[in-house]
Structure formats: structure tokens, C-alpha cells
Amino acid sequence: MSHIRHGRPFRPEHLIGLGLALLGACSQTPEKKAEQLVVIADPQGAKFTAQSVLSATPSPSDFAGTALATNADLALPPADDLQQETLQAVARDADPYRVADSILSEDADRLTAGS
């Protein structure tokens, strides 16, 4: 920022520095984060107050441009799908109607008994 104040030409590093500052802000403790948010919301340097924190809290309209989840997003497999897959296979293996050559159908019972 001081570079800009002193009239130096704009350079890409300025944006990078800003990005790093934002990234750094994200890694701060909640208290520190809140303090910095107040600074952004009140550039006049007003004293930190609960009201100033509220004014810095994002409202739904702040996310108006955020992409909504698409059907493809919503149709993703559940997070525990691997577990589901295992359960499914176990259930199938234990199902007498599905086991290969289990011969549990009605006719098969009759045929087996009669043979």
C-alpha cells in the first residue's frame, strides 16, 4: 500500500501481496479475523464495536453472484458410498435368492427334493 501512496507505478506484486494478505487473514484466529474485518468495514478508523462487527458480517445478498449447486453437484454419490458399496455386496452375498446355484426357487426346491 505504501508503494501506491508514494506514487510508484503499479506492479503485479501489489496484487499478489494483497492476495497473500487475504490468505493470511483467513488463517488468523477468530478474534483477529473479526478485528481485521472491522477495519475493512470502517476505513475511518472508528473504534471496534459489536455493531461494526455486525456490519461486516456477510448477508445473503453478498453471495448473489455465487453459483448455486447444479443438479450434477446434487447427484454426486453420498460421502459414505464406499461403505454403502461394501454393505451392498455383503447383503447380496448373504441373500439366498442371489447366491449362485443356491437353487432356492420354488421349482428348484421341488426338483431337488424329487431328485
Partner 1 sequence: MALSTRYSLFLFLLSSVGLAAAVQAAPVTSGASRNINLGTSPLMGVNLSGCEFASDGALCPSPATVNTYIDKGFRAIRLPFRGTQASNPVVVSKMKAAVDAAIKRGVYVILDRHDYGNTFDPKEAGWWGSFIKNFPNTTYVMIDTMNEPRKGASYQADPSTRRSYATEVNAGISAFRKAGYKHKLLIEWRGSSGMVRFDKREASNVACESPACSFDRAGGLKDPLGLTMVSGHRYPDSDGSGTSPVCVPNTTGTKLIWNTDLAAKARGLKVWVGEFAFGNHIKVDPICDALGKDALKRMRSLPETYVGVTWWGGGNGWKEDYLYKIEPRKGTFGTAAPSAYLTTITGR
Q: Confirm or reject binding of residue 28 to partner 1 (CB under 8 A).
A: no
- Nearest distance, CB of residue 34 and partner 1, angstroms: 24
Residue from 9, 72, 113, 114 that binds partner 1 (CB under 8 A)?
72
Residue from 4, 25, 46, 87 that binds partner 1 (CB under 8 A)?
87
- Nearest distance, CB of residue 33 and partner 1, angstroms: 19
Residue from 3, 8, 17, 63 that binds partner 1 (CB under 8 A)?
17
Residue range at the interface with partner 1 (CB under 8 A); choices 33-41, 50-58, 59-67, 85-93: 85-93
Residue 100 to residue 111: CA distance in whole angstroms: 17
Residue number, 13 or 35, with CB nearest to partner 1:
13
Q: How far is CA 94 from CA 54, 67, 88, 90, 105, in A?
A: 57, 44, 10, 6, 15
Which residues have C-beta within 8 Å of that of residue 92, sequence separation ≥ 6?
A: 98
CB neighbours of residue 38 within 10 Å: 19
Phi, psi of 80 (to 5 degrees): -95, 30
- What is the full DSSP assignment across 38-64? HHHH-TT-PPP-HHHHHHHS--GGGGT
Contact set with partner 1 (CB under 8 A) = 13, 16-17, 19-20, 23, 71-78, 81, 84-85, 87-89, 91-92, 94-95, 97-98, 100-101, 103-109, 111
